[in-house]
Amino acid sequence: MSARLEAQHLYKVFGRRPDEAVDRLREGADRQELRADGTTAAVIDASFTVEPGEIFVVMGLSGSGKSTLLRMLNGLLEPTAGTVRFDGQDLTALSGRELREVRARKISMVFQHFALFPHRSVLENAAYGLAVQGVPRAERERRAGEALALCGLDGWARSWPDELSGGMQQRVGLARALATDADLLLMDESFSALDPLIRRDMQDQLLELQRTLRKTIVFITHDLNEAMRLGDRIAVMRDGRIVQTGSAEDILLRPANDYVASFIQDVDRSRVLTAGAVMDTGVRGDEAGCACETATPDTPFTELCAISARVPHPVAVLDGGHKLVGVVPRQRLVGFLGDQEGGATPCDSPREGTVTADA
Ligand SMILES: Nc1ncnc2c1ncn2[C@@H]1O[C@H](COP(=O)(O)OP(=O)(O)O)[C@@H](O)[C@H]1O
Ligand SMILES: [Mg+2]
């Protein structure tokens, strides 16, 4: 399987003499040192791949370089150094016209504040990307209608944007991206402006859509919980650099440095971890107890806690072929929640506002 998207040693420097700045960054200079000369190193030496069908999340605080990175992935911004390959094609080598063609047909972008055309119907708004491609009216309306239905906007096609709530307008943005058939979606803080409940709704909807559509998605967020919910893999950015790339579990259980460790302190681990991540694999079949109630490697942590409370012995974790792959003694569960403040008893009494808020 070859990567859909491959970023190699990407740099973006704003300001004077960017090439000199890249040389200095390569020699180990950081953002602060360059800032003294009025130069901004927005992205520094970013390398990663995005696999087909994956949701790849880029997470970092405001100003860490996320949007700049994303804009280099579809050629809206030219890298100061480094390359971007999309389906093996070097975007940095394409002409302006070729790039526009790729953007129009293969890559869709969904922004934080999705601007709908106020004097066009919801359907026409959703069909906008297709109109740009020159798709005939009947076909673009059919495809836009299907995309609206996928996004839960059945029945709203003939409405005007101002009749829709903020969350629904954001769905139109998603529908516009889906209607084009582009199978690379770049989403820049697409849900960040929404109220928490609507936001969770949109996250669920995206995950649901993704199960059937299998798009390749690069999703940007400053919210770690959102990153962990959505991301197959997450790249954590700090001051222009990617400081760690890995699954939610990797980042939670093996933070690459103190910065990531401090970032994940407040994450609700019980929401992210699964039996496969917390089980003890150093066991043989006969050590698992009576195996009357068991888990699988993807059993969510909270469910595992519930099972553990019902059985007097360690929970056995069985794979698809009912083979024992690990066990989880009860005290091990507590250990994995270790970093949460006062978090020694989450299995019996979930902290309000964390575990329970999502039920
Ligand atoms: N066009 C630009 N000109 C100058 N500086 C920019 C430009 N775009 C972004 N920056 C700077 O680059 C850094 C990263 O910005 P950005 O990529 O927007 O971060 P994020 O999306 O993570 O908030 C910030 O310091 C920002 O001010
Ligand atoms: Mg941004």
Q: 123: CA distance to ligand 2 center in Å?
A: 28
pLDDT for the residue numbered 138: 95
Pairwise CA distance, residues 151 & 205, whole Å: 7
Q: Which two tokens stand for residue 196?
A: 């928490």
Return the residue whose CA atom lies nearest to atom 24 of ligand 1: 63
Q: Which two tokens stand for residue 33?
A: 């040192």
Provide residues with CB under 6 Å of ligand 1. 14, 40, 42, 60, 62-68
Q: Is residue 249 part of a domain?
A: yes
CATH code for position 333: 3.90.1280.20
Q: Is residue 317 part of a domain?
A: yes
Q: 302: CA distance to ligand 2 center in Å?
A: 33
Q: 189: CA distance to ligand 2 center in Å?
A: 7
Q: 63: CA distance to ligand 1 center in Å?
A: 6
Report the number of distinct structural domains present in the chain: 2
Burial group, residue 162, by CB count within 10 angstroms (0-12, 13-18, 19+): exposed
Return the residue whose CA atom lies nearest to atom 2 of ligand 1: 14
Return the residue whose CA atom lies nearest to atom 1 of ligand 1: 14
Q: Is residue 23 part of a domain?
A: no
Per-residue pLDDT 10s for the chain (359 aa) are 589 999 999 999 999 999 999 999 999 999 999 998 889 999 999 999 999 999 999 999 999 999 999 999 999 999 999 999 999 999 989 999 999 889 888 998 887 777 899 999 999 999 998 998 889 999 999 999 999 998 889 899 999 999 999 889 988 998 998 898 788 999 999 888 888 888 888 898 899 889 888 999 999 999 998 999 999 999 999 999 999 999 998 998 899 999 999 988 888 788 788 898 889 988 765 544 555 789 999 898 889 999 998 888 899 999 888 889 999 988 888 777 765 443 333 444 333 333 333 32
- Pick from 230, 249, 269: which residue ends a domain? 269
Pairwise CA distance, residues 66 & 55, whole Å: 15
Q: Ligand 1, from 11, 12, 14: best to mutate by most atoms within 8 Å of Cβ?
A: 14
Q: 8: CA distance to ligand 2 center in Å?
A: 21
Please give the residue range of the domain that contains residue 343: 271-358
Q: Is residue 326 part of a domain?
A: yes
Return the residue whose CA atom lies nearest to atom 13 of ligand 1: 42
Residues 279, 212, single domain; the answer is: no
Residues 72, 120, single domain; the answer is: yes
Return the residue whose CA atom lies nearest to atom 5 of ligand 1: 14
Do 45 and 115 touch, CB atoms closer than 8 A? no
- Pick from 247, 269, 291: which residue ends a domain? 269
Q: 184: CA distance to ligand 2 center in Å?
A: 19
DSSP 151-182: TT-TT-TTS-GGGS-HHHHHHHHHHHHHHT--
Across-strand partners of 245?
A: 235
Phi-psi region of 45 (alpha: psi -120 to 50; beta: other; left: phi over 0): left
Residues 116, 247, single domain; the answer is: yes
Q: How many CB atoms lie within 10 A of CB 80?
A: 19
Q: What amino acid occupies position 307?
A: I
